[in-house]
């Protein structure tokens, strides 16, 4: 009888310990705070974000990221403003457009991901040598009017004495998702493309990369994480943890090779060979497109507004501290 009682005691003790272990795991799991991100497109340009997810940097900070690709700046901002997302990853110019509409709940930039334009100039015919003068009289397949890619593209053209309105024929009536297909079908002498499409076209002989708009436009807050002011006030701790996870990924990307980064982010680009991903990452790293930390500085903000103003798209100048809050970013890098 004593042996039987002892066995029951041991079994009960084991079950109690096991139940406490499960409870502990459940508690740990419940501490994961969900952050819904709407990214404007799926792009190798956003490599640090995917690294943060895949390497567990967000998870280590107690953040469970739910990532959705919304395919376009307007759709991304609509998702954010309608509470379909907590955080948006899109160009900072969108916060200026929202502010111009006298929003009672402005959208605030709190962490920077990329710091240059991410597009490249692709020519249909490979030139023996490239000169910007060659664009005069050509047909140029551009990006959406008012979007950062188009404005940075126009800025680059003007920098080299090309008037986008008078020196070439600018096509802007094609949806972002169909621009590459339009060029492949024969539309345009030149096209402005993101990677990996630009490199893919080069491999297939459809076009040839002749210049980088990122190198031409200088440092700007091209893609940033942003949230509504109300959400930021109510979720400061959550966003601080999020920003810490992002910064860990930025450091990891800076200190690892293009090949290592490509292996990590490959699951997000299933139809793209890992060798091509590596080529693209290396190109972005070489022109310092990935921000080294999440701080959006004032010089970048002013450069953004200069580009918007020259494109005729700046509603009015907005002071740096009105739509930029670096508090979380500065805490993250301490």
pLDDT at 30: 52
128 and 83 within one domain: no
293 and 230 within one domain: yes
pLDDT at 10: 41
pLDDT at 208: 97
pTM score: 0.88
Give, rounded to a whole angstrom, the gap between the first and last alpha carbons of the chain.
63
312 and 225 within one domain: yes
Q: What is the mean pLDDT of residues 22-31?
A: 47
The CA-atom distances, in angstroms, between 234 and each of 239, 297, 321 are 10, 24, 19
Q: Is the pLDDT of residue 169 over 50?
A: yes
The CA-atom distances, in angstroms, between 9 and each of 15, 43, 139 are 10, 58, 84
Domain containing residue 37: 33-116+219-332
Q: What is the mean pLDDT of residues 24-34?
A: 60
Identify whether 178 is part of a domain. yes
Rounded Cα distance, 278 and 263, in Å:
8
Mapping DSSP to helix (H, G, I), strand (E, B) and coil, where does residue 68 land?
strand
Concatenating the DSSP letter of every residue in 289-300 gives -B-SSS---HHH
Residue 324 per-residue DSSP state: B
Q: What is the pLDDT of residues 212-237, one digit of tens each?
A: 999 998 999 999 999 999 999 999 99
Q: Is the pLDDT of residue 112 over 50?
A: yes
C-beta of residue 89 within 8 angstroms of C-beta of residue 38: yes
Q: What is the mean pLDDT of residues 208-213?
A: 97
Mapping DSSP to helix (H, G, I), strand (E, B) and coil, where does residue 146 land?
coil
Residue 84 per-residue DSSP state: S
- The percent of residues in the chain predicted with pLDDT above 70, rounded, is 91
Q: What is the mean pLDDT of residues 271-277?
A: 96
165 and 237 within one domain: no
User: Helical H runs in the chain?
Assistant: 2-30, 47-54, 57-60, 73-81, 93-100, 148-159, 179-184, 197-204, 213-217, 229-234, 236-254, 258-265, 274-286, 298-310, 320-323, 327-332
240 and 291 within one domain: yes
Mean pLDDT of the chain: 91
172 and 101 within one domain: no
Q: Which residue would you say has higher pLDDT here, 204 or 144?
A: 204
Q: Which of 188, 217, 246 is the last residue of a domain?
A: 217
186 and 226 within one domain: no
Q: Is the pLDDT of residue 13 over 90?
A: no
Six token digits for residue 191: 């096209």
């Amino acid at each position: 009888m004593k042996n039987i009682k002892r066995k029951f005691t041991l079994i009960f003790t084991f079950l109690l310990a096991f139940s406490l272990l499960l409870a502990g795991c459940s508690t740990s799991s419940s501490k994961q705070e969900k952050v819904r991100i709407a990214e404007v497109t799926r792009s190798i340009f956003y490599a640090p974000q995917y690294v943060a997810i895949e390497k567990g940097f967000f998870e280590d900070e107690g953040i469970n990221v739910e990532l959705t690709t919304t395919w376009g700046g307007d759709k991304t901002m609509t998702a954010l403003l309608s509470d379909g997302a907590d955080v948006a990853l899109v160009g900072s110019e969108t916060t200026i457009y929202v502010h111009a509409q006298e929003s009672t709940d402005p959208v605030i930039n709190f962490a920077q991901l990329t710091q240059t334009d991410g597009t490249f100039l692709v020519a249909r015919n490979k030139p023996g040598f490239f000169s910007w003068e060659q664009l005069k009289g050509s047909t140029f397949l551009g990006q959406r009017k008012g979007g950062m890619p188009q404005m940075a593209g126009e800025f680059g053209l003007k920098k080299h004495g090309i008037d986008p309105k008078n020196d070439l024929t600018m096509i802007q009536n094609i949806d972002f998702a169909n621009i590459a297909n339009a060029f492949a079908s024969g539309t345009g002498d030149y096209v402005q493309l993101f990677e990996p499409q630009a490199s893919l076209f080069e491999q297939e002989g459809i076009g040839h990369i002749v210049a980088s708009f990122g190198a031409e436009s200088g440092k700007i807050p091209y893609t940033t994480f942003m949230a509504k002011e109300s959400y930021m006030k109510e979720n400061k701790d959550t966003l601080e943890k999020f920003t810490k996870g992002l910064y860990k990924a930025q450091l990891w990307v800076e200190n690892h090779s293009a090949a290592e980064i490509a292996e990590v982010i490959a699951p997000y680009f299933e139809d793209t060979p890992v060798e091509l991903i590596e080529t693209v990452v290396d190109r972005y790293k070489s022109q310092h497109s990935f921000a080294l930390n999440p701080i959006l500085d004032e010089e970048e903000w002013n450069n953004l507004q200069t580009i918007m103003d020259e494109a005729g798209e700046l509603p009015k100048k907005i002071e740096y501290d009105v739509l930029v809050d670096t508090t979380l970013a500065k805490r993250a890098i301490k």
